[in-house]
Structure 1
Amino acid sequence: MRRKPLERHQTLREKILETIRESILKGTLKPGEKVAEPELAERFGISRTPIREAFRQLESEGYLTVIPRKGAVVTELSERDITEFYAIKSILEGYAARLAAEKLTAREIERLEQINRKLAELAAEGDIKTFFKVHGEFHDLFIDAAGNEKLADLIRQVGMKFNRLRIASLSLPGRMEISVAEHRKLIEAFRARDGEAADHLVSKTAELGGKVLLESMKEQKPGKQPSYMGEAMDL
């Protein structure tokens, strides 16, 4: 009988980060609202120092804005933020895919297939939290295979700053399934060593991610949380 793998317990810092992320994605903490240090410190039974460290990480991910002498507030995201991020993502990751098409080994392409099969399972289960993590592994593989370290660093820096947008986009109905389908096309382009097709596929998929997120925001009535907030509540 096979033993189940041991679950890794979250560290206290990870619990703090996840608590705040969840509250923002659910809409419990709204844009512009202050995140109270004392309440978090009391809830977790710790000093404010680790809370402030968590705030700094969440600021780097685009969830919070830390204001001197005021504290941390939930970052407000505009349509311009979405448009600019996905335009940058489209160009940078598209170029990485073009380079990777010439350099990916047969074993790496098979690994991409394995990862995408896992993503299909997660999409069927509706597990957005794990899907987002594994989705990152898929992209990291071909970005690293491109062989341009500065490009890879830049993509990750920009991506980290807008993690909130990326999760929101993948959380929209049908987006996980679309992502899996687009990955299949991308793998075929890699297998054919077609850098132009790979560039085009990655660019268009990024543009679609931004477009559907913008449309979702525009459809909401004033004062109502965007629909992706509810979809992402299990993060």
Structure 2
Amino acid sequence: MKSKPIERHQTLREKILETIREAILKGNLKPGEKVAEPELAERFGISRTPIREAFRQLESEGYLTVIPRKGAVVAALSEQDVQEYYAIKSILEGYAAELAADKLSEKELEKLEGINDKLKQLAEEGDVKSFYRVHNEFHDLFLKASGNNKLVELIQQLGMKFNRLRMASLSVEGRMHISVAEHDKLLEAFRRHDGETAESLVKKTAAIGGKVLLESLNQAEGGQGKKSILEQRIDV
């Protein structure tokens, strides 16, 4: 009897999350712009409690900043944010890939190949949302294979905080196909149990991503009217 309200609450929460994420990624909500609780409450016909819960999650993902007595506003991303994120990502994920190369079993390698095959299909279909979810499965598998639980926890926390960047990057035209090709190269290194190459590939991908994002941010600041880097055509 009590399961129905809970199920409905979760469904509404997911709809709220998706609505706000898409509005930010498409540029309909700009950095610094307030996300109004009353409008969302009226749109979904619900109280403000599930909306505030959604705001907290979106804040943890880097989409919003919740300011006391003011409410939620769209978070801005600075040059320092990008530099720090990719510097840490490069080191942590590179190390995880090196560890995983020595420990991945044949079964796990086959699973990684199967996941990447699915990603190829999703890239052809242009299904960014599903691609993002399956893309995370690919990375989670080799991260966990590293055998270092604290390392995995740190990487996942970092990824969640910059979920907004990662989702936006996969929305760029051609980016999903590039991601699949990068995975193919990484899989080759994993099959050879070549930790040094696996680490190098992951670090290279992160370094390029950081560079392109910084270029996008600098171009936006020097252009006509400042735009969020999420409104730029980026490739990470």
Q: Could you tell me which residue of structure 2 aligns to residue 66 of structure 1? A: 66
The alpha-carbon deviation at position 217 of structure 1 amounts to 3.5
CA offset digits 1:203-222 (Å, max 9, x no partner):
11122222223333334433
Query: Secondary structure at 1:11's aligned position in 2?
Result: helix
Q: Could you tell me which residue of structure 2 aligns to residue 222 of structure 1? A: 224
Following the alignment from structure 2 to structure 1, what is the Cα–Cα distance between the partners of residues 131 and 11?
A: 21
| 1:15 is aligned to 2:15 | yes
Residues 82 and 76 of structure 1: CA distance in aligned 2, closer, same or farther (over 3 Å)? same
Q: Could you tell me which residue of structure 2 aligns to residue 4 of structure 1? A: none
The alpha-carbon deviation at position 182 of structure 1 amounts to 1.1
Query: Secondary structure at 2:96's aligned position in 1?
Result: helix
Compare 47-56 and 166-175 and name the one that shifted more: 166-175
Q: Is the 8 A contact 2:27 2:231 kept in 1?
A: yes
Q: Could you tell me which residue of structure 2 aligns to residue 171 of structure 1? A: 171
**Structure 1 residues 90-101: aligned runs within 5 Å:** 90-101=90-101
CA offset digits 1:60-95 (Å, max 9, x no partner):
000000001110000011122112111111111110
Following the alignment from structure 1 to structure 2, what is the Cα–Cα distance between the partners of residues 177 and 96?
A: 23
TM-score under structure 1 length normalisation: 0.89
The alpha-carbon deviation at position 128 of structure 1 amounts to 1.4
Which consecutive unaligned segments of at least 5 residues does structure 2 have?
1-7
Following the alignment from structure 2 to structure 1, what is the Cα–Cα distance between the partners of residues 230 and 178?
A: 16
In angstroms, what is the RMSD of aligned CA positions? 2.0
TM-score under structure 2 length normalisation: 0.89
Q: Could you tell me which residue of structure 2 aligns to residue 24 of structure 1? A: 24
Following the alignment from structure 1 to structure 2, what is the Cα–Cα distance between the partners of residues 231 and 215?
A: 11
Aligned sequence identity (%): 72
The alpha-carbon deviation at position 224 of structure 1 amounts to 6.2
Letter in 1 for 2:103: K
The alpha-carbon deviation at position 104 of structure 1 amounts to 0.5
Compare 169-178 and 30-39 and name the one that shifted more: 169-178
Q: Is the 8 A contact 1:171 1:228 kept in 2?
A: no
Q: Could you tell me which residue of structure 1 aligns to residue 201 of structure 2? A: 201
Q: Is the 8 A contact 1:169 1:210 kept in 2?
A: no
